[in-house]
Chains A and B, each alone.
Chain A
C-alpha cells in the first residue's frame, strides 16, 4: 500500500536537495584558486637541492624506464634527495595533466602537449633557470619546441616552459635479414629507390611496411609526415604545428606526400589489417620478422638492439633528390615543473644535471636510446658500433646539421590527433577519403580548434 506524501513534506525534501546544489550557482572555474601567469622567476645564482633532506614529487610515464633510472642515479649522487614517484600511462597523464598540475602540483612531471597548460598558467616559466644554468647557450633547436608565446600561442618562440630528458627522433627501422633477401644492401638514398625496395619486397611476398593505424592512434601519420619532409621543407610544417598565424597543412608539397601515401596503401605496402593494428602489435610483428620496414622512433632503439640484436638498421627518410636535405620528426622527452611546485629549484637543478652530468648522459643514451640534451660540446657517450642505437644517434647528428627537426603533426593541438588525423587516415586506408580532402578536412578541424580556444 503506497503512503501518500503530503506536498509540504516533499517540498522539504526539495529544499534539502537544493541545499546540496548550492555550489552550482557560480560559473564553473570561477571558484578554483588559479595561479597567476608566472613571469621569469628571478634566479640570482644557479639553484641547488641544498643539503637538507628533501622529497621530490614526480609524475612519470609507465613503461619508460629512463626517468626512474635517472632519479635513482641522482639520489646516489645527492643522498639528501629522495623521490616520491607516481606513474601512469601517457594517455592517462594527458587526461589528468591539468587537474594534477592545479590540485596536486608535482615538482617534476612528464608533460603532454603544453600549449593549453601554459594558457592556464599551470607550468613554471623556466626563463630564470635557463639564464642561471646557461640553457640559453645550448643549440637553440633543442629548446625551440618548448618555448611558448604569452597565453600558449604560438609555440616555437617566447619563454621556456619545459625541458627534455633527451631528444628523441623518428625514421625508418628495417629488418636486415629481409633487406638482404630483396637485395637492399644499404638504406635507400632517394624516395624512388625506397619505392623500388618496397615493390621488390611486395613481389617477394614480404610485407613491405608494418605500421599501426588502429583504434584512436593513427600511426600512418608517421610515414605521412616523413613523406611530407621528403617532398618539402620542414619549416612550414613546424609553423603549422606551432600554430603560427596563417599556417596551413594543405600545401601542394603536402598533397604530393599524401598522394604518395595513398599509392603505398593501394599498392598493398601496408598490412591489410593496418586499421586494426595497435602500437604493441606493430612492435611484435616487426620484432617477429613479419615486415621489412617500420616507421618509429629511437625510443625503441635499446629495445630493438636487445630483441633483434644485429638484425635491425635505422635510416632517415630519404629525400626526393639524392643528397637533398633530410628532416625527421624529433622532439624532446618533455618534462616540466608545476607552477606551484614546492621544490621547483631542486627540479630545475635535476633537469640541468640530466643534461650535463657525465653519468646521466650515459644513462640517457643506454636506457633512453636518444641523444642527450645540453651544450653542443658536451660529453657524448660512446655506443657499440653496428647497433641501431649508434645508427639513430648518428642520424640525430645529421638532422641537427641539416636543421631538419620537426615536431609531430599530431601535436599541433590537443585534439588534432584523435579527432582528425586518426579517423582521416583510417578512411584513407579504407578508400573512403582522398588525399586532397584529407588535408582539407584536417586543416578545417585545426582552424576550428584554434578558434575554439
Chain B
C-alpha cells in the first residue's frame, strides 16, 4: 500500500479497530499476569497470614530474604542448579545434535532423537518418582555401581548431604537434554550446506566446522535453550518437591519450594511474596542479558 492521504477520522477508526483486536488478549494479560504480579508485590510489603488482618511492614520482608540463612541459601541453591539444568543440557545437546546430524540419514538418528526427546513427554512428577527409585539406596544406580566393584561409593543419593543437590540436578539435566538437542538439531538443519562445503575446501576438519560454522550459526537457538533452561533452574519446583522436598537438612531447598512452604504451610504470605518478587527479578536479570546477546549476534 502506497502512501495515501487518509482522513484523520478513518485513521482513528483504524486505530480503534486495532485496539479492539488486542483487547481480549490485553484484558487476559492484565487480569492473569499483571494483576497477580502487582498483588504479589503489594503482599510482600505486609505481614499477613492469608486470612486475618495484615500489618504494613514496608521492605522488612525483603531484608529477611537476604539475611535469613535458610531463605538466602535457597537462592544460592537455585544458582547452583543452573550448572545442571542449563550448562550440561546445552553443551551435551550441542555435541549430540552435531553427532545426530552427521548420521541424519540413518535409522539410528531417528531412534536417538525419539529417545532423547522422550523425557519431555513424561510428566515431571512421574520422572521425579522414577528417578527417586533409581537413586534410592537399593536402586538400579547403586546396583550397577556394586556390579562394577564400586560398592564403596553407593549411598542414598537423594538422602546424602553431599550428593542430594547434584542428584536432583541430574534429573533436571536428563529432562532438559532432549529439549535442547531437538531445538539445536532444528537450528542445524537451517544452516546452508554450502558453508560446510566451502570450509571443507579450505581444509577445515570436523572440529573446525563445528566451532566456526555450527556454533555461531546456532547463536539464537543456543540463546533460547539457555534462556529456557536457566529459567527452569531458577524456578524449579516439581522435580525437587517429588524427590527430596528440599531435604536433607535444606540442602536442596530452592526458592520455588520455599515460597510454597512459606505461603501454604507457614502462612507467611508476605515473606513468600517477597521471595517471589526477588526470584522474578533474578529470572529477569538472567534472561534479559541472554536475549540481548542473541539479538546482538543477529546483526
Residue positions of A touching B, CB distance < 8 A: 9, 12-13, 16-17, 19-21, 23-24, 27-30, 32, 34, 94-95, 98-99, 102, 116, 119-120, 122, 213-217, 271-277, 414-415, 418-419, 422-424, 426-427, 429-430, 432-433, 449, 452
- Rounded to whole angstroms, the CA-CA distance of A256 and B242 in the bound complex is 35
- Rounded to whole angstroms, the CA-CA distance of A23 and B43 in the bound complex is 12
The answer on a CB contact under 8 Å between B51 and A98 is yes
Task: List B contacts of A17 (CB < 8 A).
Answer: 26, 29-30, 34
- Rounded to whole angstroms, the CA-CA distance of A12 and B54 in the bound complex is 33
B165 to chain A, nearest CB (A): 14
The answer on a CB contact under 8 Å between B15 and A30 is no
The answer on a CB contact under 8 Å between A275 and B43 is no
Task: List A contacts of B42 (CB < 8 A).
Answer: 24, 28
The answer on a CB contact under 8 Å between A452 and B268 is yes
Whether, in the assembled complex, B159 has its beta carbon less than 8 Å from a beta carbon of chain A, the answer is yes
Task: List B contacts of A24 (CB < 8 A).
Answer: 35, 38-39, 42
Task: List A contacts of B264 (CB < 8 A).
Answer: 94-95
Closest residue of chain B to A119, judged by CB?
B52
The answer on a CB contact under 8 Å between A23 and B35 is yes
The answer on a CB contact under 8 Å between B54 and A426 is no
The answer on a CB contact under 8 Å between B249 and A430 is yes
Closest residue of chain A to B132, judged by CB?
A276
The answer on a CB contact under 8 Å between A21 and B35 is yes
- Rounded to whole angstroms, the CA-CA distance of A276 and B159 in the bound complex is 4
A216 to chain B, nearest CB (A): 4
Q: Which of B242-286 contact A (CB under 8 A)?
A: 244-250, 261, 264-269
B142 to chain A, nearest CB (A): 10
Within 8 Å by CB of A29, from B48, B155, B245, lies B48
Whether, in the assembled complex, B161 has its beta carbon less than 8 Å from a beta carbon of chain A, the answer is yes
B290 to chain A, nearest CB (A): 22
A-B contacts, 9 of them at CB < 8 A, read A20-B31, A27-B56, A28-B39, A28-B46, A30-B54, A98-B50, A102-B51, A216-B261, A452-B268
A121 to chain B, nearest CB (A): 8
Task: List A contacts of B250 (CB < 8 A).
Answer: 423
- Rounded to whole angstroms, the CA-CA distance of A43 and B265 in the bound complex is 35
A178 to chain B, nearest CB (A): 19
Known pairs A21-B35, A28-B46; A273 contacts B26 (CB<8 A): no
Q: Which of A9, A29, A449 has the most CB of B within 10 A?
A: A29
Task: List A contacts of B19 (CB < 8 A).
Answer: 9, 12
A160 to chain B, nearest CB (A): 22
